Amino acid sequence: MSFLRRYLKFEMKIFIGYILIGCLWILFSDKVVSILFSDAEEITRIQTYKGWIYVMTTGILFYFILRHHIRKLRTAEQMAKESDRLKTLFLQNISHEIRTPMNGIMGFTELLKNETLTEAEKNEFLKIISDSSTLLLNIVNEVLDISMIESGTNKVKISEVSLNNLMDEILNYFTHSVGNDVCIKVEYGLSSGNDVIKADETKIRQILHNLISNAIKFVENGHIRFGYKAKENTLEFFVEDTGIGISKESQKHIFERFFKDRPQNTKIYDGVGLGLAISKGLVELLEGKIWLESEPGKGSIFAFAIPYQKVDDKHEDSISYSGEKARTRQSTFNYLTILLVEDDLPNIKYITEILSRQGIKVITAVNGQQAVDLCHDHQEIELVLMDLKMPVMDGYLSAKEIRELRRDIYIVAQTAYVFNEREKTTVAGFNDFLAKPFNVEQLFAVINRFLERQHQ
């Protein structure tokens, strides 16, 4: 039955229904009339109206079925049009936001060609290019975050988290970002030892990062206080600042995508206006709610509450910390040989330059097949930095073949396709993952993880 419902189109169902009702009426109408009426004269009279009864009943029945169906189609059409409009608007906004830092990068790269520039001017232009590139990467990451939340690909991953350690890590991270006239403080809602809960650490961290980054942007002097309070069944996280505050009107739209509150005569702030929309999406994924209290000129408090899941047994040892510290162990790098598998020339140059400066020997391959051959011929290769999308043979197949040749080799996936790719590479047997673009610290964090494994 469900098979019929799935594969028969609406018009086919109507046609079959019409034929079926007609056939049943022809076959059984005489019987029904003779059961209901006993008088022969009355039966003859009723029989003259049989055709009318059939036409009226099927007409009314099919009118209601068709009306219901057409209403559904009209709603779907309106929703599709609205979604199309929103998509176009989204793309227009993104395109505008991307063009702004791109303009900075392209413009100042062009200006750098001028040979009469002083060293100080060159450094200033390079800083603008570097800041614009970071902004561009943030935009791409935020767009990815939004689309993952909306498509339902961003799943909740619950693990045991020490909230106080998480707060300390966040405090450490931001201590150096605040200005000299700003004091940043943290408040713990539970004593250490009782602060281990079950939660999605990455999402809580990301939301707090968004809120604290905003606070830092909008406070010139004063304080930023963040932390959490434990209530009966909820955990309430907050970020309070004594910054410029937000008007009542803007508060109504603050969590909408691309909304930016820029009161006149204030300095220029960067940002796309996606951070709070992402934070709201993440809080909702955690089945919580987010809100704010703010007064222009006085400051703002952003807060979110999520369900409080206590941990019964406290295995504090099992709490994982994901903070990365890049250590450059010059002496241990000297003997290292890395195979770089990459088909993009600027990337090859960039990575080779960084690695060679640390005394690492770099061998390059431009496709997966070449990588397999080189791993076979050069037994001194210990680590492979593997791009995933390449001609001739892709990174997945290449890693599989290399693994068959050399069981202990350390293979790191490096890709710009970060959408779901991390999980896929873990399943495919890669040892580590690097999302492009990566900086020197992130690259050496991966190499250090490899060296730590060697020493175990």
Report yes or no: 221 and 181 within 8 Å, Cβ to Cβ.
yes
Instruction: Choose the binding region for ligand ADP from 36-44, 50-58, 257-265, 408-416 (rule: CB under 6 A).
Output: 257-265
Q: Among 189, 243, 281, 288, which residue interacts with ligand ADP (rule: CB under 6 A)?
A: 243
DSSP states of 333-392: HTT-EEEEE---HHHHHHHHHHHHHTT-EEEEESSHHHHHHHHHH-TT--EEEEESS-SS
Q: E strands of 261-319, at which residues? A: 289-295, 299-307
Q: Does 227 bind ligand ADP (CB under 6 A)?
A: no
Q: Does 274 bind ligand ADP (CB under 6 A)?
A: yes
CB of 375 to ligand ADP, least distance (A): 44
According to DSSP, the β-strands at 299-307 and 182-187 are unpaired
Q: Among 272, 286, 348, 372, which residue interacts with ligand ADP (rule: CB under 6 A)?
A: 272
Structure tokens at 402: 């290399």
Q: Among 129, 135, 167, 244, which residue interacts with ligand ADP (rule: CB under 6 A)?
A: 244
Q: Does 310 bind ligand ADP (CB under 6 A)?
A: no
Instruction: Choose the binding region for ligand ADP from 1-9, 270-278, 351-359, 423-431 (rule: CB under 6 A).
Output: 270-278
- Dist. CA 188–CA 175, nearest whole Å: 17
CB of 61 to ligand ADP, least distance (A): 53
The residue written with tokens 């970002």 in the block is 177
Our CB check for ligand ADP shows the closer of 288 and 368 to be 288
In 3D, which of 411, 152, 451, 89 has the Cα closest to residue 284?
A: 152
Our CB check for ligand ADP shows the closer of 210 and 370 to be 210
Q: Does 96 bind ligand ADP (CB under 6 A)?
A: no
Q: Does 226 bind ligand ADP (CB under 6 A)?
A: no
Instruction: Choose the binding region for ligand ADP from 15-23, 119-127, 208-216, 387-395 (rule: CB under 6 A).
Output: 208-216
Amino acid identity for residue 449 in this structure:
R
Helix/strand/coil (H/E/C) assignment for every residue in 3-43? HHHHHCCHHHHHHHHHHHHHHHHHHHHHHHHHHHCCCHHHH
Residue 296, φ and ψ in degrees, nearest 5? -55, 135
Q: Does 107 bind ligand ADP (CB under 6 A)?
A: no
Q: Does 170 bind ligand ADP (CB under 6 A)?
A: no
Q: Does 365 bind ligand ADP (CB under 6 A)?
A: no
- Dist. CA 283–CA 48, nearest whole Å: 69
CB of 83 to ligand ADP, least distance (A): 22
Q: What are the residues binding ligand ADP (CB under 6 A)?
A: 210, 214-215, 218, 241, 243-244, 246, 254, 259-261, 271-277, 300
